[in-house]
């Protein structure tokens, strides 16, 4: 018995390809997906950048506080009289320029504390953008206080919005300025230092820190 093969017409009826509406819908879907992915990665990068900057600020604050605590706790007298001067700063009204004699003077060969020195903390305006840099001047000259710019020191921290000093005497009274020269060689019982660092994230509050340093010296 002979078998026969039969062929049917398999031609697809109608027009082939995609319509314009289908193409637009596909583009819209792809755009939504890509936008979601971009927003996710953008948010992740923003958080990572913010965390990196915050870590940088905390490290600067830790190093700055450690140095200032060591310096201020090491106040030392000259001819049986202490010297400490806190004057209004020329940089910002919220800040003061702090100057004193300390036994925590640095050796510029190995960085260790070696001898008595005149130490001064002062601010300078950053050359680019807003903010200030905090400098520490360390001079072997311990003569009488002289007005004017301190010798070039080394940078403690930058990106500061402000720094403010508050002095406390033994009775707890607060002072925004202090001069041991006019106080018969007396020094405060402690100093409170408030720091504000700029926040790179828009519309966010500055990073705020404070440390209170007891001064064991007594004039």
Any domain includes 45: no
The answer to whether residue 91 sits within a structural domain is yes
* Total residues belonging to the chain: 219
- Is the residue at 209 inside a domain? yes
Residue 135 inside a domain? The answer is yes
pLDDT on residue 181: 85
- As separate numbers, helices (DSSP H) first and strands (DSSP E) second, the chain gives 1, 9
21 occurs within a structural domain: no
Q: In this structure, is residue 11 part of a structural domain?
A: no
Range of the domain at 101: 52-214
Residue given tokens 């005149």 in the structure block: 118
Q: Using CA atoms, how far apart are residues 77 and 102, in angstroms rounded to an integer?
A: 8
Model pTM? Answer: 0.72
In a domain, 205, yes or no: yes
The answer for 129, left when phi > 0, alpha when psi is -120 to 50, beta otherwise, is: left
| The predicted structure's pLDDT at residue 189 | 93
Please state, in angstroms and rounded to a whole number, the distance separating the CA atoms of residues 198 and 194.
13
Give the chain's domain count: 1
Cα separation, 75 vs 64, whole angstroms: 17
Strands 132-139 and 117-125: antiparallel
**Residue 44, domain member (yes or no):** no
Separation in Å, CA 103 to CA 62, 70, 129: 21, 9, 36
Q: What share of the chain is helix, strand, coil (3-state, %, to 5)?
A: 25, 30, 45
Question: What tens-digit pLDDT sequence spans the chain (219 residues)?
Answer: 555 545 455 555 555 667 877 778 888 888 888 777 777 666 666 666 678 888 899 999 999 999 999 999 999 887 777 889 888 655 565 567 899 999 888 765 555 556 788 899 988 888 777 889 999 988 876 555 555 555 567 899 999 998 999 999 989 999 988 998 888 888 999 999 999 999 877 667 899 999 999 998 655
pLDDT at site 2: 56
């Amino acid at each position: 018995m002979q078998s026969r093969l039969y062929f049917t017409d398999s031609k697809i009826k109608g027009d082939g390809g995609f319509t314009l509406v289908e193409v637009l819908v596909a583009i819209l879907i792809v755009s939504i997906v890509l936008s979601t992915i971009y927003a996710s990665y953008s948010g992740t990068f923003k958080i990572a950048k913010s965390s990196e900057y915050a870590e940088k600020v905390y490290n600067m604050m830790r190093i700055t506080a450690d140095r200032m605590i060591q310096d201020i706790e090491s106040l030392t007298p000259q001819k049986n009289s202490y010297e400490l001067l806190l004057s209004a700063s020329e940089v910002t009204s919220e800040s003061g320029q702090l100057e004193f004699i300390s036994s925590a003077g640095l050796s510029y060969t190995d960085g260790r504390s070696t001898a008595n020195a005149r130490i001064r903390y002062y601010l300078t305006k950053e050359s680019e953008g807003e903010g200030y840099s905090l400098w520490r001047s360390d001079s072997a000259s311990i003569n009488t206080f002289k007005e004017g710019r301190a010798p070039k020191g080394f940078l403690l921290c930058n990106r500061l919005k402000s720094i403010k000093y508050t002095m406390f005497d033994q009775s707890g009274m607060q002072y925004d300025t202090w001069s041991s020269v006019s106080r018969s060689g007396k020094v405060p019982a402690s100093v409170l230092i408030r720091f504000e660092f700029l926040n790179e994230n828009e519309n966010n509050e500055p990073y705020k820190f404070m440390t209170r340093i007891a001064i064991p010296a007594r004039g």
